[in-house]
Amino acid sequence: MAQKAGGLRLRPPRNAVHPRAVRMWTVRAAVGYGLVALALAGLAAFVEGAGTLFAVLAFLTALAGACYAVVVPRWRYAVHRWEVTEDAVYTSSGWLWQQHRVAPMSRIQTVDTARGPFYQLFKLSAVTVTTASAMGPLRIDGLDEEFARELVDRLNRVTQATPGDAT
């Protein structure tokens, strides 16, 4: 990867997300697909003339959800990486199409965390690093919540001390 961003080499980052992220992604997928399958099963029980169609759709949705919940979270854990150095934030994401990104500290505008219900249940957070890039923010999904707070504090300190205009 010979591309450079702000004089930094674009390279794969070293760190994996927290292993609890696999369980969170699995449960989130199972709940989402499960709710849709239950709704279709409910329609199968109450809609005359189309009950069989809805029952088949409920079964197919449950089957697809089970496959997704077993495969995708583990695959996602295997390919999603991140790293923060004194000079930049590196991320790698994507299942079929890999995307490696680097954001120099001087280009960072904001650093945020997000913790929805599943994140809270599994004591995880997502950290979003926003720059002026047309590619949008970098997101590190599935960090331990305490570690994410420390990382945000560190990024805020480093970016405040880094000369540059963040544009």
Model pLDDT for residues 88-129, shown as the tens digit of each residue: 999 999 878 888 999 999 889 999 999 999 999 999 999 999
Q: Say whether pLDDT at 3 is over 50.
A: no
Alpha helices in the chain (DSSP H): 20-46, 51-79, 117-121, 145-161
Predicted pLDDT at 70: 97
Predicted pLDDT at 167: 55
pLDDT (mean) for 50-55: 90
Predicted pLDDT at 7: 62
pTM: 0.84
Cα distances from 81 to residues 16, 46, 76, 84, 141, in angstroms, run: 5, 46, 9, 11, 9
Predicted pLDDT at 161: 78
Mean pLDDT of the chain, nearest integer: 89
pLDDT (mean) for 137-147: 95
